[in-house]
Chains A and B, each alone.
Chain A
Amino acid sequence: MSSRDNILAAIGKTKRNDREPSPLPQIPTSDTFNDRLIERFSETLTGVGGQVVRVTDWLDIIQHIEQTYRQVSISPAHRIVTTLPELSAVAEVGWSGLSPHLLADADLAIIGAHFGVAENGAVWLTESLLGHRAAPFICQHLAVVLNASNIVPTMHDAYERIGDAEYGFGLFMAGPSKSADIEQSLVMGAHGPKTMTLFLMV
């Protein structure tokens, strides 16, 4: 017998005939996070190291990037990449067909998000928004654009919204990459981006 068959047979032997298998329970919910969604989301994301910038349109985002990233940049090769055509005036587009390794010198990546979660400040992203799966990890800094009307209260609402959506890769992301492995001192930018800016389009 193969290991597969052996393992399945061994598990089968542990089954008890004298009792019914335990049923799946109802998923508990609460209305704790139902109000002030934008404020809760912003406070929680800020608490885990993200920066929330409220904007009203794409021009606001372009201006913010010009001021924050372009002007302070010392290196002339300062590279900004995006998957959002609306930002092509300040960032490089059309790189998703190339090797993800070529993103190693990206200083800033700007991507869109499906929705945010108020209880933990996370945003839900799937492959179609990323250009490359590696993009939000390999860049030195990350910016995410989220429409303020797309915030759900809890993770239960999040999975209800995802439903049986099809994706090859998806992730909840909350703030920049971080580690507290050295004496519990919190360091931002362990391997992934050192900062995460969220442009909240109100």
Chain B
Amino acid sequence: MNDEPLILAFCCHYCAYAAADLAGSMRLQYPDNVRVLRLPCTGKLEANYVLAAFERGVDGVIVAGCLEGGCHFLEGNLRARKRVERVRQLLAEIGLEPERLEMFNLSSAEGPRFAEIVTAMVERVKRMGNSPLRPDRARAEEGALEMSRQAEAMLEGEKR
């Protein structure tokens, strides 16, 4: 049985997603516990996306947006930070550790920082232990994949 934590990263297309790509191009090593979900901007993030991830058994969630002041849509990342804070409060009410959710800011040139963020988050979740809501790793993995597919379909829909 795979007991490794599963982390879902909601990544902005203009920064963190490109940084993740760069980390790969640079052959940087980081834990393979993370699954990347692409958003057009972290301002697209809704509270129910994060809750859906936790409900499907994901152990931790990263929200990664542009550097403050550098949002492609001016202030999407600032709005996302406020939403993340509200969801953290909601997680506490639910009875799940708010530290399982964290927002980070980085630029598309920061491949090494993406690797650092993932490493730090995986270590944090390992210290806390896996989510008590996780059915089993395979089902949580399926849930994360399904959410990622839905996000990509949404992006495709917006292009049309």
A binds B: no
Chain A residues engaging chain B, CB cutoff 8 angstroms? none
Chain B residues engaging chain A, CB cutoff 8 angstroms? none
